[in-house]
Amino acid sequence: MAFHTFQIRGLFMGEVTLLFIIVSSFSVGEGLYKGFGKFKQLQDVEQRAVFEEQWFIQKLDHFNGADSRVWKQRYFVNEAFYRPGGPVFLMIGGEGPANPAWLQSGTWLQYAEKVGALCFMLEHRFYGRSHPTTDLSTDSLHFLSSRQALADLAHFRTVTGRDRGLDGRKWVAFGGSYPGSLAAWFRLKYPHLVHASVATSAPVHAAVNFPEYLEVVWRSLASENAECPLLVKKASDALVERLKDPKTYENITKDFNLCSQLQIQTEMDSAYFLETLAGNFMDVVQYNEDNRGFEGVLGTNITIKVLCGMMADYSLGDPYARYAAVARLMMDTFSVKCLDSSFNHYVRDMSNTSWNGPAAGGGRQWVYQTCSEFGFYQSTDSPNQPFTGFSLDYQVKQCAAFYNISAEQVAEAVAQTNEYYGGYNIRSSRIVFPNGSIDPWHALGITEDIAADLPAVFIRGTAHCANMYPARSEDLPQLSLARDHIFLLLQQWLKQ
C-alpha cells in the first residue's frame, strides 16, 4: 500500500430532561482533516456497526424554498442509557465518516449514563455515506457548507423532537474540532432549539493564513525538549538545500522510501513533498497522547516524546538522517510500503469527482470547505516555526486548481464567515470552550473567558479534543478536572 496524504490537515473530533448534541468530527469526522490526516485515515476504518444505521430526510438546500430536492442523511441511535424523561445526546459528524464506535466509548457516554440520555449521532452532509448529490463536482459542492450543516442540525432536532415526543426537552450541543465550532454556532444561530453547547477544540475564528499552527508545533515540541524544534528546523532546512540539486534526488528517494523517483519540476512539487514530511510532526503533535493511541498495526504509540527522542539520537546520523528515520518509522508503524510524494498524483486524486474516488473519504470535500469558508492554511510564513517550503501561495493555488476558486474569493469567503459567526468575538450564552495547550488549533479558539456564561477551559499539556476521550489512569490531573468542570457547568445551565 502506498501512502498518499490529502493536504488538508483538519480539525477533529467530537453532551437533561435534555437533548445533548455532540457535534463531533473525530472518527465521526476526522478533525479538521488537514492535520487530521493521514495516519488517522488509516486508523479510522469504520468499525463493524453494532448500531443499525438509520436515515433521515433532509432538504438539499435549506435556503431555497423553491428547491424541493431531498436526500437521506445517515444517523445512529444508542438507547442503552435512556431513562424515560431523560435527556438526549446528539453527536454530529464532521469531515469524515460517522463511526459507530463513538456510540460505544467517549466522555459523552459517561455523561449519558449519569443522566439517562438517549444518544444520537448524525453524519455531516457530504461525508461518509451521507450523499446529497450524485457526485463531488464543484457544482454539487456548492451545497456543502457549515450553514447548510447547521440547518440540517436544526431540522433534525425539530423533526426528531416532534416525532419522538422530545419537544419539551432542553437540547445541548457538543462537538470537537470543526464540529466544536458547529456546536457553538448552533447555539448562536438557533438559540430556540439548543439550550447550551460544549465546543471542544473549536477553531471559531476563520483565517486564510494560519502559520500559528506551526508556531504551536514548535512550542509543543520544545515543551518536551528545547532542542527538538531546532533539530527539526536543521533537518528541514537541510532537505530544502538538497532539493535544489537534482543529483540528490536518487538518495532522497531512498532515504524517505518514496514510491517513485523524486521529481521536482515546480515549487508546487517541492512544497507538497515538504509539507508531507512535516505532517509527520504536525499530526503527532495534534494528537499527542491521544488515548486512542496514535498507534499503527505494530502497536507503537508515537508521541512527541518518541519523535523528539529520535531527533536527538546521534546514532541515527545528522538531523537530516534523523528526519528521514522519523518518516520511515511512521510508514513502518502503519504498514505503508512507500510514500507517494507526487504532487501530480495528489492533483489527480483531488480532482476526481466520483463518490468512489480516492479523495471522496473527505479530502476533496474538506479542502473545498477551507477554500469556500475557512482558510486554515498551515503555512510556513512565520520565522517562529520549524519547517520551510510550503507557503500560503502554495495552499491557495490548490483552491483554483480543484474548484476554480481564486485567492481573492478565498479571502472574501473567510471574511464573510467571521462576519456571520463573529470569530473570536462570538456573543451568545451557555457555551463552554475547552482547548488543550499542545493542540495547534487552540490558536483559533477561545482560550480565555468571554463572559461568565461563555467560559473557556484551557487544559495545559493536552492535545486535540482530549477531554472528549474516555478517562484513563494515565490522564493528567488537569484533564480529569476539566471533564468534571464541564459537567458541573452543564448541570448549572440545565437548571436555568
Domain CATH code at residue 245: 1.20.120.980
142 classed as catalytic: no
371 vs 9: CA distance, rounded Å: 13
Whole-number pLDDT of residue 278: 97
Candidate list 27, 145, 177, 197, residue with the active-site label: 177
d(Cα 107, Cα 14) in Å, to the nearest integer? 10
Mean pLDDT of 317-343: 93
**105 catalytically annotated:** no
Q: Which of 40-54, 433-447, 477-491 has the weakest average pLDDT?
A: 40-54
Half-sphere exposure of 132 (CA within 13 A, CB side): 26
Residue 178 pLDDT level (bands cut at 50, 70, 90):
very high
CA 431 – CA 415 distance, rounded (Å): 23
pLDDT value, residue 290:
67
Concatenated DSSP letters for 296-333?
-TT--B--HHHHHHHHT-GGG-SHHHHHHHHHHHHHHH
360 plus 292 within the same structural domain: yes
Residue 417 is assigned to a structural domain of this protein: no
pLDDT score of 26:
40
Known active-site residue 177 = yes
Are both 213 and 197 inside the same structural domain? no
Beta bridge partners of 338: 2
Among 391, 412, 433, identify where a domain stops: 412
> Could you tell me the pTM of the whole model?
0.91
CB 461 within 8 A of CB 303: no
C-alpha–C-alpha distance, residues 276 and 340, integer Å = 9
Per-residue pLDDT of 131-156, as tens digits, reads 999 999 999 999 999 999 999 999 99
* Per-residue pLDDT, 71: 98
Of the pLDDT bands very low, low, confident and very high (cuts 50, 70, 90), residue 24 is very low
Q: Are residues 111 and 139 in the same domain?
A: yes
Q: Residues 86, 197: one domain?
A: yes
Reported as a single tens digit per residue, the pLDDT across 303-314 is: 999 999 999 999
Residues facing residue 295 across a β-bridge: 301
- Same domain, yes or no: 222 and 253: yes
Residue 480 pLDDT > 60, yes or no?
A: yes
In the predicted structure, residue 432 carries a pLDDT above the cut 80: yes
The answer to whether residues 430 and 382 touch, using CB atoms and an 8 Å cutoff, is no
Q: How confident is the model at residue 15 (pLDDT cuts 50, 70, 90)?
A: very low
The domain containing residue 202 runs over which residues?
2-206+422-494
**pLDDT per residue as tens digits for the range 188-211:** 999 999 889 999 999 999 999 999
| Interatomic CA distance for residues 199 and 197, integer angstroms | 6
Looking at the fold, whether 309 and 360 belong to one and the same domain comes out as yes
What span, in angstroms and rounded, lies between the C-alpha atoms of 280 and 306? 12
For the chain, give percent helix, strand, coil, nearest 5: 45, 15, 40
Instruction: Kindly report, residue by residue over 62-106, the tens digit of the pLDDT.
Output: 999 999 999 999 999 999 999 888 888 888 889 999 888 888 888
Q: Tell me the Cα Rg of the chain.
A: 22
Based on the fold, state whether residues 265 and 354 are members of the same structural domain. yes
Shared domain for 63 and 152, answered yes or no, is yes
Residues 262 and 194 grouped into a single domain = no
Number of folded domains that form the chain: 2
Question: Which one from 131, 205, 442, 464 is the annotated catalytic residue?
Answer: 464
Q: Report residue 3 as a C-alpha cell.
A: 501512502
> Using 50, 70 and 90 to split pLDDT, how confident is the model at 123?
very high
Cell of 131: 450523499
Q: Which of 44, 269, 283, 439 is catalytic?
A: 439
Is 326 a domain residue?
yes
Residue that has been written with the C-alpha cell 476504518 in this structure:
45
